[in-house]
A = this chain, B = another copy of it.
């Protein structure tokens, strides 16, 4: 034994590092570097590149023409090269936000090799960084009690498959054997899945922080997969490592709405829920707003709180289950039953702004009461994180 313990420990750390398949070639620079004044410097070692740019949502948007019309895309800024081949760009002072960016090297869009913090948005991978000192403090992992996050497989007889969803249980849930909790069902947009609200949406951190600050009730948050043909997110289902796509079947044609009861029934039998309308909320972004609108309308006794975030208030693609018929009557019935909150949020430059205005006009003309929140900006996660942060503190207050 003596020999084992006398083995020279020389360079052990180094050998671990070299041998654990870790590749250190690109970590010679710090990127992004967030300065004290909230400017940010990006760096990339690429001595052989002719042109390097950074593109991100902290730069002014560009408007480009496509064959479908004009679309807003992220701004691009040129980086400059120093004498040893390090490209660099420093932003102006940035407000508090969770930002995303990529580099473009001679036309090739890549992630920053010095920053392991990345999120996937549909088929794109972007780096992220966070500027503290304002609203993005809600998106940080705070020094607060943390809820647990589970990937849970539930049975959906209506869709004929086991499906995966993400469930957040608030701090204390596991240690309070008798306490029951209200539930927020939180739905993603087209091309998203059961992971989107936790990765892009920072739902875990927003809930942890708002609950710790006493601004939100401790609640369970259920984030299902809204793509009725999918068992689970890309890479987590039996299709293998297939490229993510928005071109899925059965997204806005009633299948998901019709099968929603399977989710509620699983949650109410497997979690300590307060299983009534006063303690149930539903909200979603874009397609998830469309789903929230219809699921709550079709189940007027199920949800006391409804949130439409940049909702895709558009006709269903087709309607094999006939759930989009009798829209106005069922909507009136839902409002007759007085939900505690019907909240509509949209950004001024969202391509769905007009569709939402039309919908509000319909509600107004029928005297149906809702709360309206209009923000700057468009159809982007920055707004949806913000809407969630606004929405959650309003939930379940009237039930106390």
Q: Which residues of A are interface residues toward B (Cβ below 8 A)?
A: 1, 3-7, 9, 11-27, 30, 44-50, 55, 57, 66, 68-69, 71-74, 100, 102, 105-111, 113-118, 120-126, 128-130, 140-143, 145-153, 162, 164, 171, 174, 189-191, 232, 234-238, 240-241, 243-244, 246-247, 270, 286-287, 312-315, 317, 324, 327-328, 351, 354-355, 358-359, 362, 378-381
List 5 additional A-B contacts (Cβ < 8 Å) besides A4-B358, A23-B126, A45-B108.
Answer: A9-B317, A48-B107, A110-B113, A117-B241, A174-B270
Provided the pairs A21-B74, A149-B150 are in contact, do residues A241 and B57 lie with their beta carbons within 8 angstroms?
no
Task: Report Cα–Cα, A304/B391, bound state, in Å.
Answer: 50
Interfacial chain B residues near A1, Cβ < 8 Å: 327-328, 362
Structural contact, B379 and A19, CB atoms closer than 8 A: yes
B240 near A140 with CB under 8 A, answer yes
A13: chain B residues within 8 A (beta carbon):
190, 246-247
A121 to chain B minimum Cβ distance, whole angstroms, is 5
Q: A234-B116, A237-B141, A315-B5 are in contact. Are A46 and B189 (CB under 8 A)?
A: no
Contact of A125 with B116 in the complex, beta carbons under 8 Å: yes
CA distance A118 to B241 in the complex (A): 10
A140-B237 Cα distance, complex, nearest whole Å: 9
Contact of A358 among B7, B117, B246 (CB under 8 A): B7
Please state if B27 and A123 are interface contacts (CB–CB under 8 Å).
yes
Q: Which residues of B contact A17 (CB under 8 A)?
A: 122, 190-191, 246
What's the Cα separation between A6 and B358 when bound, in Å? 11
B-chain residues with CB within 8 Å of residue A7 when the two chains form the complex: 314-315, 354-355, 358
Least CB separation from A31: chain B residue: B243
- B residues near A359, Cβ cutoff 8 Å: 4
Q: How far, in angstroms, from A244 to B312 measured CA to CA in the complex?
A: 39
| CB-based contact B46/A108 at 8 Å | yes
Contact B191 A18 (CB under 8 A): no
Q: Can you spell out 28 A-B residue pairs with CB atoms less than 8 angstroms apart?
A: A1-B362, A16-B190, A16-B312, A17-B191, A18-B66, A19-B72, A19-B379, A20-B190, A20-B380, A21-B57, A21-B124, A22-B124, A23-B109, A26-B109, A46-B108, A48-B107, A105-B108, A111-B111, A115-B241, A116-B120, A116-B123, A116-B235, A116-B243, A129-B241, A130-B240, A146-B162, A150-B151, A152-B174
Shortest beta-carbon distance from A235 to chain B in Å: 6
Q: Which residue of B lies closest to A141 (CB)?
A: B238
Residues in B neighbouring A238, C-beta threshold 8 A: 140-143
Kindly list chain B residues whose C-beta atoms are within 8 Å of the C-beta of A162.
145-146
Instruction: Point out the residues of chain B lying under 8 angstroms from A148, CB to CB.
Output: 150-153
Q: In the complex, are the beta carbons of A118 and B113 less than 8 A apart?
A: no
Query: Across the interface, do A16 and B150 meet the contact criterion of CB distance under 8 Å?
Result: no
Given the complex of chains A and B, what is the CA–CA distance between A174 and B232 in angstroms? 19
- Answer whether A47 and B9 are a contact pair too, CB < 8 Å, given A16-B246, A191-B22: no
Docked-complex contact A151 and B149, CB < 8 angstroms: yes
